Amino acid sequence: MSTIDRAILSGALLEYRVAGDETREQVRPLYYAPEFEEWVEDEERLEARTHYQHGLSLAEHIEIRLADLVCENPLHRHGIFSVDPTYQSVWKVSAEGVRLFGWFCKPDIFVLVTGALKTDLKQNADLHQDHVTRVANFRKRHGLDDAVIKGDVREVLTQKPVE
């Protein structure tokens, strides 16, 4: 049993499923920490009309980005979204007005731990490092350091269609 499977069984990770109104087929898994779900539920600005971008709430932009991560076939770094390495094998996925932090456990398979509003990251330079540290600490706390793809974009995004 893989370390990811053990983390799912223990409740440390949950498997993301696309919303029922998504027309694309989910072709790859995405995992997320319960603390990410708590952040989405507790962060009122994700739903606030004052933070709408292109007619959608920031929460809706997150849902779109997560659906892209599991449905796009093949998965591309540029165009639909931006995936950037930080350090400690932590990656940042950009959505409109939001940044999502996690790591790749296998090629094309993302594990999401935490998120932040882009405005908060711009106002507090230390906050970016705090999120990277949260991801690294989460992996260590749950024994997931072995479930990390290290390397650059070519190692984490294969850009091959899932069959």
Against a cut of 0.75, is the pTM above it? yes
pLDDT at 1 over 70: no
Give the sign of the dihedral formed by CA 118, CA 45, CA 88, CA 63: negative
Q: Are strands 109-117 and 14-15 parallel, antiparallel or unpaired?
A: unpaired
Give the sign of the dihedral formed by CA 65, CA 139, CA 146, CA 151: positive
68, 73, 77, 82: CA torsion to nearest 10 = -10
The secondary structure of residue 79, as a DSSP letter, is S
pLDDT at 158 over 50: yes
pLDDT in tens, 65-122: 999 899 988 877 654 456 667 678 899 898 889 999 999 999 989 999 999 999 999 9
Token pair 């952040």 in the structure block, residue: 39
- Domains with residue ranges and CATH for the chain: 3-18+27-156 (3.30.2310.20)
pLDDT in tens, 17-56: 998 888 889 999 999 999 999 999 999 999 887 766 678 8
